Amino acid sequence: MKIKNMKITLIKFTAIFACLTFLAISADAQKRRTPTRKTRTAASATAATNNFEIKSGAEKVSTQIKNVSKFIFVLGDVARVIEDLDREIKSGKASSRAVDLNAKNKESVNTTMRNLRAGLAALEIEFRTKPALKTYLFQIQGIADMSGVAEDQAAAGQLTESGKTLLTVIEKLSDALAALP
């Protein structure tokens, strides 16, 4: 009899346990779920994007300041050598090797000027097209054109004037960097 009572008790216990488990599951299914909060609203997502774009824009302005500054530093020595060789070539005192070297140096300067201009134009376009940077476009507007003028001056052999024009570009970039938060 004891074994029979234990079996019945075990069956009852299993049945009760199954019912409780079923009720617990169905109770979870019937609970009203509160909507989860979005961690970012549309406004905060836009603000985060704007902050990222502004920081990225400031870094790109800084990079261009470094690029143009380094070029002007190197241009000072190269300009002197090219201009001296131009005078020697005009007076007929230069060797053919010096003429070739001078042409190679001029081409190198012109290629670097084109690359600088491309980088500055890309920066200006980015400031023109990204909403977060449009506010600061005024500070850098025209740097691509100014670098084009410097490129034309360099192609015409006016390397010192070209360097002065690029200094104006650096001034505009520095103003933009100071205005960016």
CA 166 – CA 29 distance, rounded (Å): 70
Q: What are phi and psi of 23, to 5 degrees?
A: -65, -40
User: How much is the pLDDT for 95?
Assistant: 85
Sequence-ordered list of residues with C-beta below 8 angstroms from that of 141, at least 6 positions apart, any chain = 124, 127
Which structural domains are found in the chain, ordered by start? 58-179 (1.20.120)
Specify the DSSP class assigned to residue 33: P
Sequence-ordered list of residues with C-beta below 8 angstroms from that of 155, at least 6 positions apart, any chain = 110, 113
Helix (H) / strand (E) containing 31: none
Sequence-ordered list of residues with C-beta below 8 angstroms from that of 119, at least 6 positions apart, any chain = 64, 67
On whether the pTM is more than 0.75, the answer is: no
Decide if 85 contacts 101 (C-beta within 8 A). Answer: yes
State pLDDT tens for residues 9-30.
Answer: 445 444 454 444 444 444 444 5
Nearest to 126 by CA among 117, 136, 115, 112: 136
At position 61, the amino acid (one-letter code) is V
CA 58 – CA 50 distance, rounded (Å): 12
Does pLDDT of 73 surpass 90? yes
Distances in whole angstroms, Cα of residue 39 to Cα of each of 2, 42, 45, 172: 61, 10, 10, 39
Q: Which of 3-12, 37-46, 51-60, 166-175 has the highest mean pLDDT?
A: 166-175
Mean pLDDT (the chain, rounded): 81
